[in-house]
Amino acid sequence: MFQMEDIHKMNVLVYDNDEKIGIAAGNYMCGQVLAKPDSVLGLATGSTPLKPYGHMIELYKKGAVDFSRVTTFNLDEYCNLDVNDKNSYHTFMYNNLFNHINISNENINFLDGNAEDLEKECKEYEKKIKRAGGIDIQLLGIGSNGHIAFNEPSDSFQRWSHVVKLKESTINDNSRFFDSVDEVPTHAVTMGIGSIMQAKRILIIAIGENKADAIKQLIDGNVTPQCPASVLQFHTDVTLMLDTGAASKI
Ligand code: PGA
């Protein structure tokens, strides 16, 4: 016997603060690697994953986990920004994780936002994910408007990796990292909703009350491309790690 409400139920975990989320999420990601040393990890940028990455580094330094056989795919990258620019997601990942663990460079994958043919680059990225055996666990943050990666609210779900023109609100949000708003790239390449949904497991982290509406919609709102994260209701293995602020409306 099972109850309908148990089907595809999301695993919602609430913590007192982001320190505890960092430890729990870092343990969760490393647990995947311990269970399967050649795991394929889908990784995210932004402020949310900083503490989880910090804890993954700590576990590596203690000798508790080995990343030498791990492969990674990052969710997104800006277009027309040098990969070595301080604001590229490439730089973010090396500074905050890759430079501090024993991952092998050839196993690290990013969409190339400077590729001459971006559409071809996106198709190639999907093929690479497939050749690697698919993503075992995808780490996600969420925007206060419900975006995941650079999949912004829109009239339809974009299935696979694609080029996006950034919304003015996103450009303004991200301008805090640049010297001026004019320096923020106008386009990005991102994994699509289908690429994310194909991950075997999803770990989504949200910190702060400004994420509470998006989290409510993600858990029990209508599934709509106006809140891209709501599609995760159709995934069979989703864990949410929230602080009390992000969990305040559920
Ligand atoms: P944040 O971004 O971690 O900086 O809040 C999350 C996101 O926009 O996906």
**Rounded CA separation 110/190 (Å):** 10
**pLDDT classification of 225: cutoffs 50, 70, 90:** very high
Cα(142) to ligand 1 centroid in Å equals 6
**Rounded CA separation 119/207 (Å):** 33
Give the active site residue among 55, 90, 147, 235.
147
**pLDDT, tens only, 151-164:** 999 999 999 999 99
User: How large is the average pLDDT for residues 62-77?
Assistant: 98
**pLDDT classification of 6: cutoffs 50, 70, 90:** low
User: How large is the average pLDDT for residues 98-114?
Assistant: 98
187 is catalytic: no
pLDDT of res. 167 = 85
**pLDDT classification of 234: cutoffs 50, 70, 90:** very high
**pLDDT, tens only, 73-97:** 999 999 999 999 999 999 999 999 9
Side by side, the strands of the sheet bearing 40-43 are: 11-15, 238-243, 201-206, 137-140, 40-43, 71-74, 108-109
User: How many angstroms separate the first and last alpha carbons of the chain?
Assistant: 27
pLDDT of res. 3 = 56
pLDDT of res. 172 = 87
Cα(148) to ligand 1 centroid in Å equals 8
pLDDT of res. 39 = 98
